[in-house]
Chain A
């Protein structure tokens, strides 16, 4: 089956620093990847849609300058949280969409970010 990895699985950073999270599709190519944020005991909230070779599309209310997304290849998308603050602490999940119908989305295992 299709596998999506995320790295790191858990990261702690100091307030004011930046942290990068990688999302890779291991055995398929993904034109489109998605980034979600999930607070405890809540649903997944879509942050942005990442398309290979073009700028990401951000959902309303998501700061594009704070959450930088790069999708440089068909197997890798990165999310960089810039100038992190404690309120950015959350669980971040990526998914990668297959290129053929029904464009199934496969989810990564998530990254827990803690900003101190």
Chain B
């Protein structure tokens, strides 16, 4: 079975600084997707970034980028120029093609003004 591990229950960063959230996963599949979701206090799940496993290039979305290391099964999220609105729970998730999402346990990110 696929597993997703987030080893950092909590992280904090000064506003405008950069922070990296870690995620590792385990799978025997070769075709899959990896995601980072943000869950703010409203509890609405928001997709931050998606990475297709067949793509070697790391995905980026404005201030958010990933470091995807397929061989190491590592998928970290880097948030640059952190803003107060980035404060939330961040979940790493895995999905093979057309299947269900498997979530990590989450990392609570606090932004220090």
Query: Which A residues are within 8 Å of any B CB, using their own CB?
Result: 34, 38, 42-44, 46, 49, 91, 93, 95, 101-105, 107, 109-110
Pairs across A and B, CB under 8 Å, 13 listed: A34-B100, A42-B106, A43-B91, A43-B106, A49-B100, A95-B101, A102-B50, A102-B52, A104-B47, A105-B101, A109-B42, A109-B44, A110-B43
4 A-B pairs with the lowest CB-CB distances in the bound complex, closest first: A107-B45, A43-B103, A109-B44, A43-B105
Q: Is B101's CB under 8 angstroms from A110's CB?
A: no
Q: Is A44's CB under 8 angstroms from B91's CB?
A: yes
Q: Is A103's CB under 8 angstroms from B43's CB?
A: no
8 extra A-B contacts, CB within 8 A, seeds A95-B45, A95-B101, A103-B98: A34-B101, A44-B103, A46-B101, A91-B43, A101-B97, A104-B47, A105-B101, A109-B42
A46 to chain B, nearest CB (A): 6
A103–B101 alpha-carbon span in the complex (Å): 11
B50 to chain A, nearest CB (A): 8
Q: Is B105's CB under 8 angstroms from A107's CB?
A: no
Q: Is B100's CB under 8 angstroms from A46's CB?
A: yes
B100 cross-chain contacts in A, Cβ below 8 A: 34, 46, 49
B35 to chain A, nearest CB (A): 9
Contacts known (A43-B91, A102-B33, A102-B52); A107 close to B103, Cβ less than 8 A: no
